[in-house]
Chains A and B, each alone.
Chain A
Amino acid sequence: MNDPWCVGDATLASRFLLGTAGYPSPQVLRDAIVASRTQVVTVGLKRTLAAAGDNGFVAIVREALKQRGARLLPNTAGCRSAREAIELACMARELYDTPWIKLEVVGDEHTLQPDAFELVAAAARLVRDGFVVFPYCTDDLVTCRRLLDAGCPLLMPWGAPIGSGQGLLNPFALRTLRERLPDTTLIIDAGIGAPSHAAQALEMGFDAVLLNSAVAQAGDPVAMAQAFALAIEAGRCAFRSGVMARQDFAVASTPVGGEPVLLG
């Protein structure tokens, strides 16, 4: 299906953005990237003295992306304030040589819910400094509007808390977002657990999904990456085809004219 979409200066064919954390080995990650057919993968930053080494994961990501002509989307994971996120974004731009930044500013340790106030403040500053800001946000319409006012070219509302795998917890709010922001690129980020959740998001008209744990924690991450790729393509195709309206009553699909077929 030829159905490209645009993010900043990039035209993408795949609507599947993939996270790179938590895979059992660098080789599995590389194969999952290939199977997903993704063109955007997320990466992070850590302190050099932090426990646990990289074990070659980032090198594998760079190699896999180079082969596919795909792009990196660094994040500001772990940030709790606008100031922290701004400084980390500057570091990410230098280290990864890209103005793209997935802006994460968490306001609650239990749910990892984004802090709307810090998020908007950080987004405004980063946009002014030339970043292409992908804000990880909630499904709150007014916050989303403020992020657009700040200059974000797209929004990444959560489906459910990060890593929870609960799918789209608030379809009403998400539908409202889609309807009220018809011209905005909307990517569901976080909470996706199964390919059916991703298909549902695309069927609802969301432009893409970003997920990590659902693939990385699968029994076979490579096969799951392929399953998501297929589901996302199916969901998008369904959206473009026009999903039928729901009804509360039965409507016979076979045109027998209401007459018995054998008796009478």
Chain B
Amino acid sequence: MNLIDLQLDNRPHRVPTGTTLDALVAQLGHEPRDVGTAVNGRFVPRGGRAACTLQAGDAVLLFQPIVGG
């Protein structure tokens, strides 16, 4: 299996080549509705994750709700 290296929330992360963003969210154990996603600083809406195939060097950020002022 070929692997590629990503940055996931600024930490190194390795996934199989061809992994999509929705697959990554599922692999990490998140409910799709519970997280927001961005790749290389750009928001990727929930409906666009399946079409977003991750590339080597991509910076993926996952966000979740939290308290705030």
Contact = CB atoms under 8 A, between A and B. Distances in A.
Interface of A: 19-23, 29, 42-50, 54, 57-58, 61, 74-75, 77, 83-84, 87-88, 90-92, 94-96, 162-163, 212-213
Given A21-B69, A49-B62, 5 more contacts: A19-B69, A43-B66, A54-B64, A84-B41, A212-B69
B49 to A, nearest CB: 11
| Most A C-beta atoms less than 10 A away, residue of B35, B63, B66 | B66
A77 B69 contact: yes
A91 B69 contact: no
B45 A95 contact: no
Nearest to B45: A94
Interface string B5-37: 000110100000000000000001010001111
Interface size classification for chain B: 20 to 34
Given A44-B66, A95-B63, A213-B69, A49 B11 contact: yes
Contacts of B37: 91
A48 B11 CA distance: 12
Contacts, number: 95
A238 B62 CA distance: 47
A209 B65 CA distance: 23
B68 A19 contact: yes
Nearest to B30: A48
Interface string B52-69: 000000000111111111
Given A20-B68, A48-B30, A212-B69, A91 B9 contact: no
29 contacts: A19-B68, A21-B68, A43-B66, A44-B65, A45-B36, A45-B65, A45-B66, A46-B64, A47-B63, A48-B9, A48-B28, A48-B30, A48-B64, A49-B8, A49-B62, A54-B66, A57-B66, A75-B69, A83-B41, A87-B43, A90-B43, A90-B45, A91-B43, A91-B63, A94-B45, A95-B34, A163-B69, A212-B69, A213-B69
Contacts of A43: 65-68
| Most B C-beta atoms less than 10 A away, residue of A23, A44, A75 | A44
Contacts of B35: 48, 95
Contacts of A213: 69
Contacts of A42: 68-69
